A and B are shown apart, each in its own frame.
Chain A
C-alpha cells in the first residue's frame, strides 16, 4: 500500500471512507463513547480530504473515469463486452469536482459544529452515522456516471436526510416535516427511475455517456426529460416543487439544514448533468432553456415573497434557500437557451453559466453559515420566533459578526461572494433579456431588506432581561462557522481567481458534451 495506490483509488475511497466511518460510529459509541466525537470528526475530515484531493486531481489532469471492480489497466470498455461499458463507472469532471469541493467544506465545517450543538441530546452515535451516510450520498450523486447508481445515491441522500430531520425531534413537527420531505422526494425519485427505464429501453445502457452518444429527440425521450426535470427539481427544492423544502429545513437541527442545502444542490447537479451532458446536443430550440429560466424566476420571486412575512427565523431562511436556487437555475437556464448558438454562448452564455455555477458553491457557503449562526442563537436562547428575540449582539459578538457576513453575502453586497456571482448573473441575463435581470435585482433588494429586518430584530436593540445569562457559543461551534465565513470572504475578495480555477472548468465540462462522452467511450483511464 503506497501513496500511488491510494491516489489511483480515490474515487472508491470517496464512498468507502464515509461509509466505513458511518458503520463504525455506533460501534465506537457503544464501547468507547469518550472518543466517539473525535472519531466522527476524523472520519468527516478524511472523507473531505479525499474529496478535495480528488477534485485537485481533476483540475490538474482532467476528467477522471474510474472503473469499479476492474484490474488496473483495464479500460472502461473491456474487449469482450461488445463496445459497451458494462461496469459501474465514476465519471468526475470539472462540474463534479466543484460540487465535491463545496460538499467537502460544508460537511466538515458542520460536523465540528454538530458535535457540540447536539451534545446534550441522546442517541448521538446513530445520528452521526446518518450524517456520514448523507455525506456519502452527496459525494456519490455528484461523481457517478451511471444512471441507476445515481438513483441509488439519490435515495441514500433522501433517506438519510429525512431521518436526520426527525431525529432529535421537536414534538410532532419534525416528524411532520420529515414525512412531507420523504413523500415528495420518493415521488420525485420514482419519476427519475421511470425516466431511467425509458432511456434504458431504447439504448440498452445505464451509462450516461453511452446514452448521450446515441440520444435523439423522440417523444419518449422528451417524456423522460420532463420526468427528470420534475424529479430533480423536487430534490433541489425549486418552485413549483418547493412545498416540502421550507417545512423540512425549518424543523431540522440547524447543522443538518446547512448540509441539506448541499444535498439539495446535488439534485441541481443531476438536473444540469442530464440537461447538458446527456441531452445537450439534441436541443436546437430555446424552449427547454426557457423552461429552466421560468422555473428559476418563479423560484426567486415566490421564495423571497414567502420569506418576508415569516416569523420563524429558520423558516424565513428556508424560503430564502428556495429563492437563491432560482438564481442558479436562471444562470444555467440562460446558458441552455443559447446553447446551440456559439456566438451568443461566447457573448454571454458562458458567463451566465459560470455565474450560476459559482452561485451554487457560494450559496452552500453563506447559507450554511447563516443556518449555523441562527442555530447558535437558538442553541443559547431556545427561541425560534423573531419577535421574541432582541439585543443578542451584546453577548454573542462572534455569532453576530458571522451572521452579518452571511447576510451581506446573500444580499449581494460587495466584497462578499454573493456579489461576485450575482453580478455575473445580472450582466449576462441583461444581455439576454433585460426584464429578467431587473426581476433578479428586485429579488436581491427584497433579500437585503428581509435580512436587515432579521439582523435588527435578533442582534440589535437594547439587551433584554430574559437573555441576561446568554453567553457566546463554544469555540468549536464558532470554528465551524469560521471555516464557512473564511470561504465567504475569500471567494468574495478574489472572485476572478476562483472563477478561473474552479468554476470555468466546471462550465467547460458542461458546455463541452463531446468531451464528456469521449472521456468515457474513448477507453477512459
Chain B
C-alpha cells in the first residue's frame, strides 16, 4: 500500500488537473491545471525510477552490492520540466495578449472565433 502511494497521488493529481482544464473558465486557472497535470506526469516518471534503499546513480563511487535508483527517468523528468516552463511561459504571454485586447481572462467572455 505504502509503495503505491505515489501512484495514487499521481491519479489524484491527474484528476484535479483534467478537471481544472475542462471546468474552469478563467484561463490562468486552466494553465494552472495544466501545470498540475504536468507535475502529475513528472511524479509518475520519478516514482517509476525509485528503488527501495537505492543510492544516487554514480558508478565510480558506488559501493559493492548496493542498488541504484534509475537515472533515465530523472533525466526525462528534468527535460519535461524545462519543456513545461517554456510552454507555460508561452501560454501566459498569450493570456496577456488576450487580456490587453479583451480586458478579460474568462474564456466565455472572449469574442468567439466562431461568431
- Spell out A's residues near B (CB within 8 Å): 148, 152, 155, 158-159, 162-163, 166, 169, 171-173, 175-179, 182-183, 186-187, 190, 193-194, 197, 200-201, 206, 247, 250-251
Contact = CB atoms under 8 A, between A and B. Distances in A.
Contacts of A186: 34, 38, 87, 91
Given A175-B98, A182-B91, A247 B113 contact: yes
B101 A193 contact: no
Contacts of B69: none
30 contacts: A152-B83, A155-B86, A159-B83, A159-B87, A162-B90, A172-B100, A172-B101, A175-B98, A176-B94, A176-B98, A176-B111, A177-B113, A179-B95, A182-B94, A183-B30, A183-B34, A186-B34, A186-B38, A186-B87, A190-B38, A190-B41, A193-B80, A194-B14, A194-B41, A197-B41, A197-B44, A197-B48, A200-B72, A200-B73, A251-B113
Given A173-B113, A176-B110, A190 B37 contact: yes
A518 B41 CA distance: 32
Tell me the interface secondary structure of chain B in the complex.
helix
Contacts of A173: 111, 113
Contacts of A200: 48, 72-73
Q: Which 9 A-B pairs have the closest CB atoms?
A: A172-B101, A175-B97, A179-B94, A175-B94, A247-B113, A155-B83, A201-B48, A175-B98, A197-B45
A322 to B, nearest CB: 14
A193 B41 contact: yes
Nearest to B44: A197
Contact of B97 (A166, A183, A193): A166
Interface in B13-57: 14, 18, 21, 27, 30-31, 34, 37-38, 41, 44-45, 48
B41 A163 contact: no
Contacts of A190: 34, 37-38, 41
Contacts of B98: 172, 175-176, 179
Interface in B84-115: 86-87, 90-91, 94-95, 97-98, 100-102, 110-111, 113
B114 to A, nearest CB: 8
Given A182-B87, A182-B91, A247-B113, 18 more contacts: A152-B83, A159-B86, A159-B87, A162-B90, A166-B97, A172-B97, A172-B100, A172-B101, A172-B110, A176-B94, A176-B110, A179-B95, A183-B34, A187-B21, A194-B14, A197-B41, A200-B72, A206-B72
A252 B41 CA distance: 31
